[in-house]
Every structure is written in structure tokens, then in C-alpha cells.
Amino acid sequence: MGLSLALNTARSSILASSSQMAVVSRNTAGASDPTYSRKIATLVAGGGAARVVVQRAADSALFYKMLETTSDTVKQQAVLEGIDKLKHTVGDSNLNQSSAARIGALSAALEQYANKPDDPILARAVVARANELVTMLNDATATIQRTRQEADASIAGSVARVNDLLSQFKSVNDAVVKGTASGIDVSDQLDTRDHLLAQLSEEMGISVVTRENNDIAIYTDSGVTLFERVPRKVEFSPTNTFNASTVGSAVIIDGVPVTGSGPMPLNSGRLVGLVQIRDQDAVLYQQQLDEVAEALIASFAEQSKADPTLFKAGLFAQSGTIDMPPGWDDDPASQASAGLAGKITVNAGIDPAKGGVLDRLRDGGANGDPDFVENPGVPTGSNAAYSDRLYKLSQNLSSDRPFNSALGLGDKTSIKNFAASSASWLEGNRKTVSTNVNYQMTLLSHASEALSNATGVNMDDETALMLQLEKSYSASAKLISVVNEMLQTLLNAVR
């Protein structure tokens, strides 16, 4: 081998080893970064010399599976977070704080009052139990609507994040396409782009199509274009205040509604979970509580003796009126007045704290109209008439009555059982979603681990490779030193 050839070979080897060692150093520095993919330095021969080409460890199938699992997991987490907020409305059944327990306490107070209908202390106890019950229903309604409003605000935040990620994605994707076309190393940009895709998959389910020069198009899991050379506009109009009748806005991508009853709704991601809480779970729970409120008002309603078709509110009423709620005596399949649980109150005509008269609970005529009084005058020798009315009111709470079957709690049961079923429905949903979260978290952990094993950095491997490259570098350097000595000897010989 000629000395010049040996020298060139050694120089090429040193340059290649240096480039490979630089890549190993990059891998070592990125080992702790979960978004970093291992870089592979490959020697490519050409033009009489070897050059190093940097490639990136990747596994598209595992990466796309991780994106899918991420979307499913975050959706369930968003639902669980919302249901946990709603669960605060149920109260502790062990401490008799649940709605069913409070209805039971009211029924027991009525029976005690019925046993001694001339005792004002027992009458006050009934009103106190009634106030506790309506306070719970009022507070529950406020919590439900606050949960819906918070979900709506989170939807707005999620949409803002999606738009920001798409803007960042365009810059990185343009750099990848340009770099790939120019033949330069874009492995770091590919890492950044994959990280953006992973973040985007948290907000909504996505699918990815790779095109020429590593260009990427992004679609939602329902098929709506999200990014194709340029990001598509994602829009949402937040609602500042919610009540039981409020309908939240839809998320719109490139003019297409992708939530609610839209033609191409999203299937997974945080947005889907938030919309489910705002528009489905919280709404259904509110409707169940409204049904409880309507049943309470109806159970204590007073009937006019002059006009048997006329009813007015008894112990329970809508705030600000003695009239019965709209549709209270219609088809049981009809829905109770929206938000009634937030409007129910103890009738001011009975509650002493509001200037009412306690005896009206016993006698009837809660609103001061003699046509609604059932026990006029003072009984002679017996309190039976008074007791009968109070026992009847207590029985109304435990007797079966029709309910709207569309609420998923049956079509005929007692108010107490219906309230208990509502709490059980919420807890059952929470347990189901919690199980789903744990399952999805396990899948995500496995998918992430598999992807990390395929594309991540193994420090033992990198250390071994670095030692091997150092030996190669040392051998090449030694060869250069030997060639240098030989050339020096030749130069000295010709002088």
C-alpha cells in the first residue's frame, strides 16, 4: 500500500470515527429525553471515500399505536375528572348526607310530627329537614352547572393549544421537507415533529399520512383534515355562564363541526371527554335531580276544594311562585322543568324564617287561601284529622310514582329510591370510567415502553459503541503517526 493511500485511508477513518462519536455523544445527551430517538451513524462509501450518514431509529407502527392510546387515555381521564366533580354533590351516605338519606330524614320527621301534631318543635324539625334537602338540591345544581362551565373553558383551552401546536408543526414540517429534499440531517426536526404529534393526540384523536420528502398530512380520527401543508382553522366559542338550559358551542375544524351531533364527530382525545361531561353526563344528572325536585313539589301539592283541577305548591315550591312547575302532571315520560332542582325552595308560607306559619304544614293552605285548607278549625277530642294528612305526606315520599324512563333509572319507584338510584348511577359511571382509565394507562405504558425499546437510547450500547470507536480512532491515529515517521525517514534520506 502506498504511503499516500495509507494516509488518506487513516484520515478518512478518523473523520468517520469522529462523526460517529459525535452521534454517540448526541445519543448520550438525549438519553434522558423521552422525546428523543436514537441516531444511527452509517458509513456510506462513495467517490473513493467513506462518509457518515445519520439516520434515526423509528417504528411507525408503534408510534401510531402510542398516539391512538394517548387519545383514548386522555379522553377517559377528562371524563373521570368531570365525574369526580359531580360526585361531590352526592354527599356521604354514611353520614346521612345523601339526597336519599335526607328524603328519609324528612319522611321520619313527618311521621314524628304526625304522632304529635300539636307540637311546634316537631313541626320546625320537618321544615329544617326540608330546608336541608332543598339546599342540597340547590347546591348540586350549582355544582353541575359550574362543572359544565369549567369543561367549556377547558374546551376553549384545548382548542387554543391545538391551534398553537399546528402552528409549530407547520414550521417544523417545512424544515423537514426542505431538509429532506436537500439531503441534510433532519433527525432532530423529526424528533420535534413527533413530539408535537404526541401532544396533539392528547387533545384529539388523529391519523397521519406521510408523503414525499417526509411531508406529513394530519387528519382527525373521524376524517376531517387538520393539517395539509398548512394548518386548518380550529374554532370554538366559549360560553361564560351556564344554567340547566344552556347548550354549549361545538368545536369546528375547517368549517366542519366535530363535536356533538356533527356529521364527523371526534372519537377520542381530551376534547371528546370534556364535551361528554358538558353535554351528556352533567346534563343527564341535572335532569335526574330536576325529576326529584318535581316529585317533591308534586308530593306536597295542595288541591283546591272549590276547583279540584287547581293545585298550588305545599311544603315545597319553586322560588318566587306558588304555582306548580310547568308540565308537573303531564305524561310521566316528559322531562321536568330544566333547572328545577336549583329553583326548589321551602314555601315561604310555611317556613317561619320567611314569615310563614308552621300550622299550615299540618292544616294545608300553605299560601293563605282557605280553599286549600284541609283541617279547618280546632279538633274536638282527637288529632286524627291532623295526623292523617301528615301521614299521607310521609307516605307520598315512600310510595311508587311514575318517573321519566329516559333518564335510565326506571319508570316507577319512590322518590327516595329514585334519588338513591341517581347517586348509584353516578358512582357506577365513576367506577366504570376509573376502570377504563387504569386499563388505558396500562396500554399506554406498554405502548410507550415498546416504542422506547425500539427507538430510545440504551446507555450500555452507546458506551460499548463509544469504546469501539475510540479504539478505531486510536488505531487510525497510530497509522498516521507511523506514516508520518516513514515519510520523515524518506525526506531525511533524500537530503
Residue range 66-84, pLDDT digits in tens? 999 999 999 999 999 999 9
Retrieve residue 10's grid coordinates. Answer: 487513516
Distance CA 336, CA 340 (A): 7
Cell representation of residue 431: 367506577
Band the pLDDT of 11: cuts 50, 70, 90: low
- Quote the radius of gyration of the chain (alpha carbons, Å): 37
- 108 located within any domain: yes
Same structural domain for residues 339 and 312? yes
Classify residue 214: in a domain, yes or no: yes
Q: Are residues 118 and 140 in the same domain?
A: yes
Task: List for the chain the helix, strand, coil content (%; round to 5).
Answer: 60, 10, 30
| Residue ranges making up the domain that contains 45 | 3-57+456-494
Are residues 172 and 48 part of one domain?
no
Co-location of 467 and 338 in the same domain:
no
Same domain, 325 and 190: yes
Taking a C-beta distance cutoff of 8 angstroms, is the pair 10, 483 a contact? yes
- Residue 165 lies inside a defined structural domain of this protein: yes
**Does residue 159 form part of some domain?**
yes
Shared domain check, 178 and 105: yes
Q: State pLDDT tens for residues 348-390.
A: 999 999 999 999 999 999 998 889 888 765 554 455 667 888 9
381/236 same-domain check: yes
Q: Judge whether 373 lies within some domain.
A: yes
Tell me, yes or no, whether 50 and 73 share the same domain: no
Which of 429, 446, 467 marks a domain boundary?
A: 429
Domain count, the chain: 2
Find, among 329, 309, 313, the residue nearest to 321 by Cα: 313
Residues 71 and 144 in one domain: yes
Query: Tens digit of pLDDT for each residue in 311-344?
Result: 999 999 998 889 988 878 766 667 888 999 999 9
Q: Is 482 helix (H, G, I), strand (E, B) or coil?
A: helix
The three cell numbers locating residue 119: 307540637
The terminus-to-terminus CA distance of the chain in angstroms comes to: 24
User: How far lies 283's CA from each of 69, 292, 299, 385, in Å?
Assistant: 28, 14, 24, 43
Domain-embedded: residue 73: yes
Last residue of a domain, one of 429, 464, 482: 429
Quick one: 248 and 391 in the same domain?
Answer: yes
- 204 and 224 together in one domain: yes
| 400 and 471 within one domain | no
The per-residue DSSP string of 131-199 comes to HHHHHHHHHHHHHHHHHHHHHHHHHHHHHHHHHHHHHHHHHHHHHHHHHHHHT---HHHHHHHHHHHHH
Q: What is d(CA 272, CA 74) in angstroms, rounded to the nearest whole number? A: 9
pLDDT-derived band at 41, boundaries 50, 70, 90: confident
Which of 382, 413, 429 corresponds to the end of one domain? 429
Spatial separation of the C-alpha atoms in residues 423 and 121, rounded to whole Å: 31
Is residue 48 in some structural domain?
yes
Judge whether 37 and 62 are in contact, CB under 8 Å: no
Residue 355: inside a domain: yes
